Amino acid sequence: MRKGFADNNINKNNPANPPSIIVLPAGFPCSEEELDYPAKKVDEEFFEQAYDEKFISDDLKDKYSIEKKTGLPVKLDDMVVKDYKLTKPCRIFVGLANKNKLLEFISNDCKRVLDDGSPIEFYINASAAVRYRKERDYARNILSVLKGFGTTEKSKTELKKDGIYFDYPKPVNLIKYLIQIGCESEERIVLDFFAGSGSTAQALYNLDEEETKTRQFILVQLDEAIKNKNDKSRSKTIFDITKSRVLNSANKFSNRRLGFKIFETVEDFRIEEDDEELTLSNLTMFDDVLLTDEQYQTLLITWALYDGSELTTPISNIDLDGYTAHLCDRRLYMIAPDFSSNALKALLHKLDDTDDKDFDPNKIVYYANNFDSVKQMELNEALKSYANKKSIEIDIVVRN
Ligand SMILES: C[S@@+](CC[C@H](N)C(=O)[O-])C[C@H]1O[C@@H](n2cnc3c(N)ncnc32)[C@H](O)[C@@H]1O
């Protein structure tokens, strides 16, 4: 496969594409600066037989000393190239699947033309074959047999050098190839549900470096215990291995800012099981809930995703006189317990501060368990009765 374009010989030596004579004009492009290829000597009988059989058989090639190599048209005139162009017309005898395109290219002064919406051009290569090169939005010439991409044994040895012990890691070159086929565009995201040692991350980082692209990936890995007894690293689970490989791979490109985040699925630790948003009518008194840092972050990211943001959407911390709230896609999340009257004042002040254009929440979501009913009343009333100078209409949502 060639990335992003197809590059092939034009010849189709079979009865479905009977041969004919085509004149390549002076100026026809060549990949080589110079080329001199003598004409083949053929006669009437040659043409008669070829037209009769509708292709150039091996017997016929033998008889007229024509190379059996596929991809070479029969040259009826000397093919002479100087300065990357034919110096004089050269007739070729060849069967073509896309003859009309070649003729269109020739009548367009040997400039690229469109074929199914993609630019196509033709040229002579170093072996005097005539080839076409067609650009594609994404790679399509896919190999049917994958060979020479390395082995899991070799990859295992490579990884050991980095202190990573993993059985059967896939060869990085193989994954690179697969990414080229399936994820040519930077807008696509590579998803590997069975990340293992994280070969996909390394392949993607390497390929991005070569192609100066910035694709994204999602790797998924269970925290499965490591069974490899030879593991001399301190990894306890396969996930630990995935993480160190992603880190190692990213660190190899310190000139590029390669970031990634790790998310973990966890049991629901919230007191209430139902997810429904509370209304003021079912407010109850709760004791403040102390969340661990991890639970705090889990709640924040769960809400952000629930509200339609993406894993990569930035969440910025907003300081409200010592209280930290979080702004994500115009939603302000307030989870921590210490929301004070001063924090409320700071919030109202920020809503009025027309110079602070980045602060424009249209929804405030707060964690019921950490806002007692007095605070909830205070917050709701203040925001509902107050016309802020930025004229933002704000929804208030209470969540468990
Ligand atoms: C054969 S390995 C993948 C090897 C990887 N391509 C590499 O080059 O290192 C398959 C991985 O999938 C993981 N796995 C199996 N079931 C899974 C699941 N349901 N969710 C996530 N990972 C899983 C296994 O722990 C194992 O690490």
Distance 194 CA to ligand 1 centre (A): 3
User: What token pair was written down for 331?
Assistant: 């939603």
Distance 21 CA to ligand 1 centre (A): 57
Which residue's alpha carbon is at the smallest distance from atom 18 of ligand 1? Answer: 222
- Cα–Cα distance, 53 to 327 (Å, whole number): 75
Identify whether the C-beta of residue 285 lies closer than 8 Å to the C-beta of residue 373. yes
Distance 223 CA to ligand 1 centre (A): 10
pLDDT surpassing 70 at residue 201: yes
Q: For the packed helices 199-211 and 238-251, what is the interaxial angle rounded to 10 degrees?
A: 20
Confidence class of residue 312 from pLDDT cuts 50, 70 and 90? confident
- Cα–Cα distance, 303 to 295 (Å, whole number): 12
Question: Considering the chain, what is the average pLDDT of its residues?
Answer: 86
Edge-first strand order for the sheet with 5-9 is 5-9, 130-135, 118-124, 113-115
The pLDDT value recorded for residue 121 is: 95
DSSP 3-state of 187:
coil
Give 192: exposed, middle or buried? Use CB within 10 Å, 0-12, 13-18, 19+: buried
User: Ligand 1: which of 175, 190, 194, 223 to mutate, most ligand atoms within 8 Å of CB?
Assistant: 194
What are the contacts of 99-102 at 24+ separation with CB within 8 A?
A: 99/17, 99/20, 99/22, 101/132, 102/10, 102/22, 102/130, 102/132
Q: 238-272 pLDDT, tens per residue?
A: 999 999 999 999 988 877 777 888 998 888 776 55
Which residue's alpha carbon is at the smallest distance from atom 26 of ligand 1? Answer: 196
Which amino acid, residue 106? Answer: I
Within 6 Å (CB) of ligand 1, which residues are found? 166, 168-170, 193-194, 196-197, 199, 220-222, 224, 238
Q: 79-88 pLDDT, tens per residue?
A: 999 999 999 9
Q: 329-341 pLDDT, tens per residue?
A: 999 999 999 899 9
Whether the model clears a pTM of 0.75, i.e. scores above it, the answer is: no
pLDDT surpassing 70 at residue 70: no
Over residues 185-196, the mean pLDDT reads 89
> For the chain, what percent of residues have pLDDT higher than 90?
47
